[in-house]
Every structure is written in structure tokens, then in C-alpha cells.
Amino acid sequence: MVEILILFCIFCNFFSLLLIPLITGIESEEKVFNTASYDTIQECNIEMLVVFIAVCITAIIIKRMIKLPKETVSTYYFKTKEFRKIIFYLYIFFSIYTLINTNWSFNWENRGAHQFEIEGRHTLLQSSAGVFYIPLLLYITRIKVFGKDTIKYVIGGICIYSLNGIASGGRSNVILALFAFLIYYYYIEKIKKKYFAIIIIVGLGIFTMAANDRFYSENYGFLKSNIFKILQVNGSSWFLPMVKKIIIMGTDLDAWTFAMHFVTIFVPSFIWLRFGQLSYTRSTFVFNTLINTSQSGLGFMMLADFFWCFGYLGYLLYVLCFAYVIYFFRKNIYSSKPYLSLGAINMVYWFCNQRVDFGAFLKPFLYTIIFLWLLEYIRKKSLQAAKTKRQLRGTI
């Protein structure tokens, strides 16, 4: 099921501009940016089709080679009062900070316009709330921190996180939260496939109704406008032709640019800024500088990032990256270690968000693994300390 989910996201990412006019008759607004030649666009369409066929074949091979292990998941872990307090305070902190950073005006004008400027970058606390909130909710669900009240905390957190996304027009926020918990319940808590499909359809429908702006008001109709939003939410097929055009014009990147995704894992952006390095080379930022002349935010495309830095070899590296995501998921989804099982879910839903460069997938995944590992470390230390206290009391 996860393979189908990722392939669906990749398919929308690659071919949305072709499908939207064909299915709905609505011309995507993003097409106005695409001034690449017809031949370049056709060439990219063929290349994306080849890559998509390659990832489909890869998914089939890995699924047959690596069978899902027998379930070893236990949803109950020993907790102490001290650990519950730590999780509770983290939950309150992330909830309050997410609410503080919610766009209560619900005004989408110029949203994302300054996302590539120094003043527009998230602070460390904003980034933490954005990256760690959903993993924390998954962790709370996984080990039932608050007992019977756990579901109340989780539903409240999802509502706050989704409200923040809808208020700012952050479509991926809502979709990623939906994907994360569907994957969790499908594999760990177990829900039937038909309910899985129904929840996805209903969830996407509710989201698109909430996120519909001019497309619904201009009488495209309920069905067409919702299909448009579902396809457009991860659509980025115009980026690759534009990258090819930029390369022809003389702006090329190399493997070092791509390597900066790994360097910034250990040297986060706020450290670069603190010591005077205002920015570093990154394909997303270079693209925005060259293309974005309007007061609006731009996403990017993971495949375009690979191609810009490695050329046609980048297509192969992209397929290998996809293969590792599937491999990691199938190896760890039933792990008894929460940081691995939840890390596998986290890896999938971040990879589903293809409208980013590779770094925007890599960093949240690795940081989340570390975050969840730290929670488990604290839980075990808390439990060990509680046992030691009981033993000391028994000797007195």
C-alpha cells in the first residue's frame, strides 16, 4: 500500500500539468511560468515517463525481494510519571507554538513570497514545531503515553497542525499529517484496505474543500475543482523543463551543490547565519533567484534537483533513493524500536512530498530519527531511575 501511495505522489508530481487540463479542462496557473521550448518540454515528459516506469519496476522488485517481517510491534511500553510530564510539556510547547504561528487572518496573498530570503526563514523554534510535531503525535500514539486519554491528545494535535496548514495555504502540511497517521494505523494498528482508501478520499475531499480558492468560486464545479486540487497539490512537472532551459543559458550546478544537503545536516542553517554565512548554494535557492520575479512562493522538484546536479546520472540516483525509501520502510515498519518504525513512516511521508529539493526530505527525516531516539533514551533512563529508587526503598 505504501508503494502505491508514493507512486501516486510521484505520478502527480511528474504529470500533473498534462493531466489537469485533460481531466478537468482547467489550465494550471503554473503553466504561465513555463517558457521552455516545446521540444524541451516533450523531452522532459519522455524522460519523466522513463523514470516513473523505472520506479514502478523498482517497487515491484523490492516488494518481492523483501517480505514484510512478522509483526513484532508492541503498543504498550512502561512509562514513568516523570516521562509523561516531559512528553506533556513537549506536546503543550509544540501546540502553543503552532497556534502562535498560525495565520489567523487566513489571507493567502503573497504567501511564501519571502521564503527564500534571510528574513523569511524559519527560526529554530518554528522549524522544530514544524518538523517534530507530527512525529511526537505518532510517538504518543505508539506507546500510549497518556493511557486512555492518548487519542484525545493526538486528535487535538492533528487539528492544530492541520489548521495551521489550511490557514497559510500550506497544502502539504495537511496531506503529510493525513498520510502519516493512515500509514501508522494501516500497518501498526491495522485498518482494512477499503477503510484506508475511504479515509484517503474523504480526507483529501475535506482538505480540497477547505483549500479551494478561486477555482471553485469560478464555477468549475465541485468534482473538477477537487480533482484539480488533488493533482496540483504535488504537481511540479514544469520545473524540469525550466532547469534544462537554465542549464542551456549557462547556469549549471554540480555534485558539490548536492553534497551541501548532507553538510547542512551537521551545520544547520541557523548556524550558517549566526557566523555570517548568509546562505549556501542550493538548487532551490538558485532557481528562485533566476526565475521568481513575482510576489509569490515557489516550490521545486526533487527530480529536477538530482538532474541539475548530476545530469542524466541524477535520474538513476533518484531511482536508487526511491529504492532505499521502500527498503528502509519494509525493513523497519514492524521494528520493536519506535524510532525505527516511526522513522520509517516519517521517511515515507516526507518522500511523498516531492515538491521540494532533496535536502527538504533528507534533513527532516534524519532529525526526526534523532528526536525519536532521544525520546526513547529519556524514557529508558527515566524507567531505570524509577527502578533504582524502588530498589533503594526496598533495602531500607
What was the pLDDT predicted at 215?
Answer: 44
49 vs 207, more confident: 49
Residue 110 region, left (φ>0) first, then alpha (ψ -120 to 50), else beta?
Answer: left
DSSP 108-169: -TTTTTTTTSGGGSPPHHHHHHHHHHHHHHHHHHHHTTTGGGHHHHHHHHHHHHHHHHHHHT
Interior angle at CA 322, CA 321 and CA 326, nearest 5: 115
From CA 233, how far away is CA 214, in angstroms rounded? Answer: 15
SS3 state of residue 65: helix
Look at residue 146 and give its three-state secondary structure: coil
DSSP class of residue 102 equals: S
Cα–Cα dist 213/207, whole Å? 12
| Contact of 339 with 47, CB cutoff 8 Å | no
Tell me which DSSP letter residue 104 carries: T
pTM: 0.84
Identify the pLDDT of residue 57.
93
Q: Any idea which residue has 503554473 for its cell?
A: 30
DSSP assignments along 201-246, one per residue:
HHHHHHHHHHH--HHHHTT--HHHHHHHHHHHTT--TTHHHHHHHH
State residue 312's pLDDT score: 92
In the prediction, which pLDDT does 395 show?
A: 60
pLDDT digits (tens, 9 = 90+) for 161-209: 877 777 766 666 677 777 788 788 877 877 766 666 666 666 666 555 5
How many CB atoms lie under 10 A from the CB of residue 354? 23
Report residue 67's pLDDT band, with 50, 70 and 90 as the boundaries.
Answer: confident
Q: CA 236, CA 56: separation in Å to the nearest integer?
A: 19
What is the count of structural domains for the chain?
1
Q: What is the pLDDT of residue 131?
A: 81
Residue 330 structural domain: 2-395
Among 143-147, 161-165, 392-396, which stretch is predicted with the lowest mean pLDDT?
392-396
On the question of pLDDT at 266 being above 60, the answer is yes
- Between residues 321 and 300, which one has the greater pLDDT? 321
Given this model, what pLDDT does residue 323 score? 93
CB 345 within 8 A of CB 306: no
Per the CB < 8 A criterion, the answer to whether 360 and 149 are in contact is no
Bigger pLDDT: 195 vs 113: 195
Q: Determine the pLDDT at residue 214.
A: 45
Q: Locate the DSSP E strands across the chain.
A: none
Selected residue with higher pLDDT from 232 and 371: 371
**Cβ distance 196 to 4 under 8 Å?**
no
pLDDT in tens, 199-244: 666 666 655 555 555 444 455 666 666 677 777 767 778 888 888 8
pLDDT at 396 over 70: no
Whether 378 and 87 have beta carbons less than 8 Å apart is answered as no
Q: What is the pLDDT of residue 26?
A: 63
pLDDT at 53 over 90: yes
